[in-house]
């Protein structure tokens, strides 16, 4: 146990959620007064498609799986990934606080399979259509796709590039096709992702490459050979 805690002491970064969760859910408790509707003519042209709930829900697995892999096998890439995600999520919370937005254009009748309609109704009940600009759902999917592509295990893997990019694209589209987000939410998340990609990965403003000493576990080295 002591060895485990010593090897994975970078878990301290998850303390961020002590700040994030109360802030996010606190904002969700606000009334609807003063919220800006981000609905556009393009959103009007986008139909509701119930089966897009599957890539939408897949987001949870994609994000958790990416973070878990990097946490256990690549400390530097893990720090870059969570720096990207947590800074961006904080920016989103600041925007939600000073510029509250909404997107309440859900269909009155949900058509589709029994499973897809159940999942859509579950998401609609659990997640209010408030604080949508930028979309954290879209932002995090882009961030995790970048993290996988930049990970040293997959730098030369075209299969991973296809997987990561397809995942991010499908998740992004799902937010609009199940009427959870406007196209403005997705575009603004993309812009934020570009800015943080430059800061974290290109300029390395946090000096993660210099400050983090990474000792790769044997399993990671073996997996690296297999992935190529």
Look at residue 126 and tell me whether its pLDDT is greater than 80.
Answer: yes
For the chain, the farthest-separated pair of C-alpha atoms sits apart, in whole angstroms, at 57
Please state the domain extents for the chain. Answer: 59-105+133-228
Mean pLDDT score across all residues of the chain: 92
Look at residue 169 and tell me whether its pLDDT is greater than 50.
Answer: yes
Angle at 61 between CA 59 and CA 63, to 5 degrees: 65
Which pLDDT does position 106 carry in this prediction?
94
- Measured in residues, the chain has a length of 228
For residues 74-98, average pLDDT? 97
Q: Give the single-character DSSP code of 23.
A: H
Q: Give the single-character DSSP code of 102.
A: E
Report the alpha-carbon distance of residue 138 to residue 178 in Å, rounded: 13
Which pLDDT does position 212 carry in this prediction?
87
Report the alpha-carbon distance of residue 148 to residue 164 in Å, rounded: 7
Token duo for residue 85:
């995600």
HSE, CB side, 13 Å, CA atoms: give it for residue 56: 23
Backbone angles phi, psi at 37, to 5 degrees: -80, 125
Which class for 12: exposed (0-12), middle (13-18), buried (19 or more C-beta within 10 A)? exposed
- β-strands 36-37, 101-102: how paired? parallel
Which pLDDT does position 222 carry in this prediction?
44
Q: Do residues 180 and 186 lie in contact, with contact meaning Cβ atoms separated by under 8 Å?
A: no
The per-residue pLDDT for range 8-32, each reduced to its tens digit, is 889 999 999 999 999 999 999 887 7
Collapsing DSSP to helix, strand or coil, 19 comes out as helix
52 closest CA partner among 129, 111, 104, 132: 111
What CA–CA distances, in Å, run from 35 to 38, 104, 164?
Answer: 9, 11, 34
Look at residue 160 and tell me whether its pLDDT is greater than 60.
Answer: yes
Please tell me the pTM assigned to this model. 0.91
The per-residue pLDDT for range 102-112, each reduced to its tens digit, is 999 999 999 99
Report the alpha-carbon distance of residue 43 to residue 63 in Å, rounded: 26
Contacts made by residues 123-130, CB under 8 angstroms, sequence distance 24+: 123/53, 123/56, 123/57, 123/178, 123/180, 127/180, 128/28, 129/102, 129/103, 129/104, 129/105, 129/180, 130/27, 130/28, 130/30, 130/32, 130/35, 130/100, 130/101, 130/102
Q: Which range (62-76, 99-113, 128-142, 208-222) has the least confidence? A: 208-222
């Amino acid at each position: 146990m002591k060895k485990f805690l010593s090897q994975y002491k970078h878990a301290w970064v998850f303390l961020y959620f002590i700040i994030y969760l109360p802030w996010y859910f606190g904002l969700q408790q606000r009334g609807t007064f003063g919220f800006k509707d981000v609905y556009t003519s393009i959103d009007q042209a986008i139909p509701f498609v119930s089966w897009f709930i599957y890539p939408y829900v897949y987001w949870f697995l994609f994000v958790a799986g990416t973070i878990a892999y990097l946490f256990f096998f690549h400390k530097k890439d893990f720090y870059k990934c969570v720096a990207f995600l947590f800074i961006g999520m904080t920016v989103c919370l600041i925007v939600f606080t000073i510029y509250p937005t909404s997107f309440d254009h859900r269909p009155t009748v949900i058509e589709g399979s029994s499973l897809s309609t159940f999942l859509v109704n579950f998401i609609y009940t659990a997640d209010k259509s408030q604080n949508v600009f930028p979309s954290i759902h879209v932002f995090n999917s882009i961030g995790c796709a970048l993290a996988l592509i930049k990970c040293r295990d997959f730098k030369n893997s075209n299969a991973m590039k296809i997987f990561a990019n397809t995942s991010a694209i499908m998740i992004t589209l799902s937010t609009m096709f199940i009427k959870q987000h406007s196209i403005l939410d997705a575009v603004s998340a993309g812009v934020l992702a570009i800015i943080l990609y430059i800061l974290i990965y290109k300029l390395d403003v946090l000096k993660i490459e210099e400050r983090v000493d990474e000792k790769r576990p044997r399993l990671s080295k073996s997996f690296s050979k297999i992935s190529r």
